[in-house]
Amino acid sequence: AQTVTQSQPEMSVQEAETVTLSCTYDTSENNYYLFWYKQPPSRQMILVIRQEAYKQQNATENRFSVNFQKAAKSFSLKISDSQLGDTAMYFCAPLYNNNDMRFGAGTRLTVKP
């Protein structure tokens, strides 16, 4: 089974601080994509960032960046300068064989003022 593990069910961070969310996955695939999605209380799934497995350079998107370690099958998300609007569930999601997207159980992040 291509499992995805998010080992932190809940996390909290002070506004303006930095927080890192962890994700590990298990696959025998060599080429795939990795995504982080955010789900605020509105329930809408919002794409945060993506990473191609064949790229060694870590993706960044404004305050969001990833630490991708392919050999370790690790894909963590770092949020810098946390804002109240970052409060949400965050899901790690590898995409295999173009259409097989697997999701972790999520990390509930609370940003405290």
Partner 1 sequence: DAGITQSPRHKVTETGTPVTLRCHQTENHRYMYWYRQDPGHGLRLIHYSYGVKDTDKGEVSDGYSVSRSKTEDFLLTLESATSSQTSVYFCAISERPGGLSPEQYFGPGTRLTVT
Instruction: Say which amino acid occupies 104.
Output: G
Binding to partner 1 by residue 103, rule CB under 8 A? yes
Residue range at the interface with partner 1 (CB under 8 A); choices 17-25, 63-71, 73-81, 87-95: 87-95
What the block records as the tokens of 85 is 């609007």
Q: How far is the CB of 98 from partner 1 (least distance, A)?
A: 4
Residue range at the interface with partner 1 (CB under 8 A); choices 16-24, 30-38, 55-63, 79-87: 30-38
What the block records as the tokens of 5 is 């593990």
Closest of 75, 33, 78 to residue 52, by C-alpha: 33
Q: Coil, strand or helix: which one is 69? A: strand
Nearer to partner 1, 73 or 102 (CB): 102
d(CA 96, CA 103): 11
Binding to partner 1 in span 67-86, by CB under 8 A:
none
Binding to partner 1 in span 38-57, by CB under 8 A:
43-45, 47, 50
Length of the chain as a residue count? 113
Q: Are 25 and 3 in contact (CB under 8 A)?
A: yes
The residues that touch partner 1, with contacts defined as CB under 8 A, are: 4, 33, 35, 37, 43-45, 47, 50, 91, 93, 95, 98-106
